Every structure is written in C-alpha cells, then in structure tokens.
Amino acid sequence: MTDPLLAGDPLLTVLREIVGHRHVLTDPGTRRAYEVDWTGRFQGQARAVVRPGSTDEVAAVLRACRAAGAPVVPQGGNTGLVGGGVPLHGEILLSLRRLDGLDDVDRAAGQVTVGAGATLAAVQAHAAAAGWAFGVDLGARDSATIGGMVATNAGGTRLLRYGPMRHQVLGLEAVLSDGRVLRRLSGLLKDNTGYDLAGLVTGSEGTLAVVTRVRLRLVAPRPRRAVAVLGLASVERAVEIATALRVDLDALEAVEAFFDDGLDLVVERLGLSPPLRCAHPVYLLVECAEPQAGPDPLDALVAALAPLGLGDDDVAAGLDPAGRARLWRLREGHTEAINALGGEIGAPHKLDVTLPAARLAEFTTRVREVVAAIAPDARTFLFGHLADGNVHVNVVGLAPEDERVDDAVLRLVVSLGGSISAEHGIGTAKARWLALDRSEAELATFAAIREALDPTGVLNPSVLVWA
C-alpha cells in the first residue's frame, strides 16, 4: 500500500520515470527494513526508497533530487554501525543494492571491477573461483556491500596483513550530486596524474559522491590455515603476546581480542561451548595462513607460542575448517549476542575506537570505570582487533538518546592519544565529537571539499556534520 501522503509527490513521479514504478518504494511496511539500522538504535522515515539499476539511473536520480532540493541518504547493505545509512530526517533513501554486477576477474592483473551493491561474500566467492582472494573480511560479509565498505573505509579482521578497504581500491566510478560521473577504473598501479579522487571518496561516508563501481586489488589465496584461542590473565599480557607474534610469525593474519563477560554472553546467547576448560579474564584469537604450496602454518604457530609460557589449559586450536569456524564464531558472535541483549534492555551504544598499543591496557580498565560512574546498571562489553589497537566498546542498557556515556568514553579515548573512530566512521552517531579529534584547519578543509563537490548539500547532510 502506498502512503497516501506521498501519492501526489511530484519528485516521486520523476523518480518513478527514471527507475521504474516498482523501484520507488513508498509503502511503510516495505520501507521499514531500509529505515532502521542494524542495531535498532537509529531509525527514521524515508520520503521514499529508490532503487536504481544502473549508473545512469543513479545520476538521473541525483539530478532530480538536487533540482527538487531533496536530500539523499545512500545505502548499501545497511550494516553500518554509526547511523550514517538510514534516513533520520525524511530523506530519499538511495539503495545501491541492485548495482551488484561482477565483471570477470582480470587474472593477469589480480584485479576485478564490481558493482557497489555486490556483497563482500559475493566478491570473496567470485575471486576464489578465479584463483585469487580478497584482502578484507568482516562478520557482516553476507550483507555489507563493496560500496558501503568503500564509503566507510571498512577495516575488518585481516587489516594486519592487507590494510583497510582503502588499500584494496585501485579505482572507482562515482556520481556527484549534480549527476556528473567520476570514472577511473583502469586499475593502473602507477598513475600519478593529479589528485587521488578515489582516495578522497573512500571513507567519505556518502557525503561527497555515490559509489557505483569499484576496481579492486585481489591478493594471493592462503588456504592453509591454523587458528588458536589463547586464554590470558591480563590485557598487558595480550598486548605483549600480540607484539611477539607480529615479530616472529610471518604467517600471522589476525589477532582479535575478547573478554570473559563477552564470551559468557556469546556462549549463552548463541548456544556455543567455551573454548577452554577454565575461564580466563582475556582471550586472544590468532589466525595464521599460508599459500597452498607453503608450509603448515600450525608448525609456525606452535613454534611462536612455545616460548610464551602458555599451559595446555590456556590454548585451544582449530585445525580443520569446522574447528576454525567454531573458534571464530566465539569472536564474531559478539556483535550478534550483544544486539540480542540490546533487544531486551536497550539497543547498544557502539563506540569503535583505536588506542596506541601502550595505552590499551589502561583504556580497558578505565573505560569500565567511566561507564560505571555514569550508568551503574549498564553492561559494558569490549572486544576488537587487538593488533590494530582497535577496541569496540559496547554499552547496553542506556536510552538511545542518552549520550553521557558516549561523551565520557570518547573524551577518555582522545585524552589517551586515540581516535574516536577506528573503522566504522563518524556517521551521525559521532558527529558531535569530531572536533575533539580533528583540528580547526582540518575541519575547514573538510567543509571546503564538501562545498566544492556537493554545494547544495544533497548527499547525506546529517553525516560528518560537526558544527
């Protein structure tokens, strides 16, 4: 059923002519999945959900919206965690999911061009079928799109070896708010011909241009894998071990951390078994990987762990695919388990931050104290990509609009020399704190770039706004 209030909307008539009647969604029930974020904390109403099927249609939609003065929120898989991809103020929701084409893998170059709406899992499978691999992985792989991952400069669990999304982007096609198309998809590795526009759009969270296609770097596959979960007494010890493994273990691909309270929640909510016989305050998940013709990564992992003084009760190894998946589920299941708890006592406030390695241990202690002082009944869960200094602080049991904890935690992060956003971006959730982390000169430069590319403020007007 079409919302009667929208039936006579002249902009929607134009948009229907561009993308076809069935790709302009106005029925409140059909719109709903596009209007609420993954955590349930951020929600609003779209003027309409528009689903273009080509770059030309994206360009025409943006031209029409700009002419009508209608703001637009681009959206991919809607797995973002900072409220940047949902329409909070009646915007047009531009869903890019139909742009999910996958060109043939360029086997000689080890590159592929894909549509912005292709999911990460589809790109991973496509690369694997051609004998290559994709360097970024994250828990939301079945829904997160390449366009959204470029827009947020997603990090994930392999950043240690391959870097963030930015390092995989060799070129892109993106549409400016006036409908002009920036296109550079040749994938040339050496191309010093002026400003790096793909680099500028990457991480811009849908505020500068709408990404429609991306040229991606692929990496050599490393199918021989070994995973271990280590039970440890403290964060200091976890940081020490992560450092030792980075120095000694060439095959190292991931070092993830979680804590006893988070593990208990995951085990209870997802019906899993704990990895070790005895509980430990902190856990590290370590993954090593080698090419098919390479040595067994387990040998290298065992050799690297040997001098670290861990007992049999402190290590669980995953050798076959099922065993490895079981251990990874304990780490990746955190987001899901915390969300499930949030459904009962209030959607989680998710604060994704980075700390210098030397301040990580201090942060994990102080952040719990800071939250407890403000909201004694709230529950705090910490986990993250330890080798990158990236901690996901999840506080459950707060009202969605109560930002006292967010404020105190982000100020603590900055006081310890960290960043208020490690990999999820600023979105709308952290916009008011951006000035804590960026200088006046930097913010003025941000504003000037935005003004140059989107002078009428059509694209994601509530995202990355700090004034």
Q: CB–CB of 179/213 below 8 Å?
A: no
Minimum CB separation of residue 302 from ligand FAD in Å reads 27
Residue at 413: amino acid letter: V
151 sits near ligand FAD (criterion: CB under 6 A): yes
Query: Tokens representing 243?
Result: 């450092």
**Measured from the CB atom, is 158 or 237 closer to ligand FAD?**
158
Q: CB–CB of 228/315 below 8 Å?
A: yes
Minimum CB separation of residue 434 from ligand FAD in Å reads 14
**Measured from the CB atom, is 149 or 393 closer to ligand FAD?**
149
Q: CB–CB of 76/140 below 8 Å?
A: no
- Angle, helices 297-305 vs 235-248, to 10°: value is 130
Among 113, 145, 168, 354, binds ligand FAD (CB under 6 A): 145
Coil, helix or strand at residue 71: coil
424 sits near ligand FAD (criterion: CB under 6 A): yes
Coil, helix or strand at residue 209: coil
100 sits near ligand FAD (criterion: CB under 6 A): no
Beta carbons within 10 angstroms of residue 228's beta carbon: 23
DSSP 193: S
Coil, helix or strand at residue 358: helix
- What distance in Å separates the CA atoms of residue 252 and residue 388, rounded to the nearest whole number? 13
168 sits near ligand FAD (criterion: CB under 6 A): no
Beta carbons within 10 angstroms of residue 271's beta carbon: 7
Minimum CB separation of residue 131 from ligand FAD in Å reads 26
138 sits near ligand FAD (criterion: CB under 6 A): yes
Minimum CB separation of residue 413 from ligand FAD in Å reads 17
- Is the CA virtual torsion 424, 428, 430, 436 positive or negative? positive
Among 15, 25, 38, 288, binds ligand FAD (CB under 6 A): 38
Burial of 373 (0-12, 13-18, 19+ CB in 10 A): exposed
Residue at 411: amino acid letter: R
Query: Tokens representing 447?
Result: 């504003």
**Measured from the CB atom, is 155 or 171 closer to ligand FAD?**
155
Per-residue contact string for residues 245-284; x = within reach of ligand FAD by CB under 6 A:
----------------------------------------
Query: Tokens representing 400?
Result: 């969605």
Beta carbons within 10 angstroms of residue 209's beta carbon: 26
- What residues does 383 pair with on adjacent strands? 258, 392
Q: CB–CB of 101/132 below 8 Å?
A: no
**Measured from the CB atom, is 136 or 317 closer to ligand FAD?**
136
Per-residue contact string for residues 198-237; x = within reach of ligand FAD by CB under 6 A:
-------xx---xx--------------------------
- Quick one: which segment of 2-10, 102-110, 145-153, 396-404 binds ligand FAD (CB under 6 A)? 145-153
Among 144, 255, 288, 316, binds ligand FAD (CB under 6 A): 144
Minimum CB separation of residue 156 from ligand FAD in Å reads 4
Residue with nearest beta carbon to ligand FAD: 148
Query: Tokens representing 143?
Result: 């829904």
Q: Give the CA distances from residue 120 to residues 48, 150, 156, 222, 239, in Å, rounded to whole numbers and listed in that order.
A: 26, 11, 12, 18, 30
360 sits near ligand FAD (criterion: CB under 6 A): no
**Measured from the CB atom, is 109 or 465 closer to ligand FAD?**
465
152 sits near ligand FAD (criterion: CB under 6 A): yes
**Residues 71-90 close enough to bind ligand FAD by CB under 6 A:** 73-81, 84-85
User: Which residue blocks in 52-111 are alpha helix, DSSP H?
Assistant: 55-68
**Measured from the CB atom, is 203 or 314 closer to ligand FAD?**
203
Parallel/antiparallel/unpaired status of strands 315-318 and 282-290 = unpaired
**Measured from the CB atom, is 206 or 231 closer to ligand FAD?**
206
**Residues 289-348 close enough to bind ligand FAD by CB under 6 A:** 335
**Measured from the CB atom, is 147 or 171 closer to ligand FAD?**
147
Minimum CB separation of residue 229 from ligand FAD in Å reads 18
> Can you give the binding site for ligand FAD, defined by CB under 6 A?
38, 73-81, 84-85, 96, 116, 138-140, 144-145, 147-149, 151-152, 154-157, 205-206, 210-211, 335, 423-424, 427, 460, 463
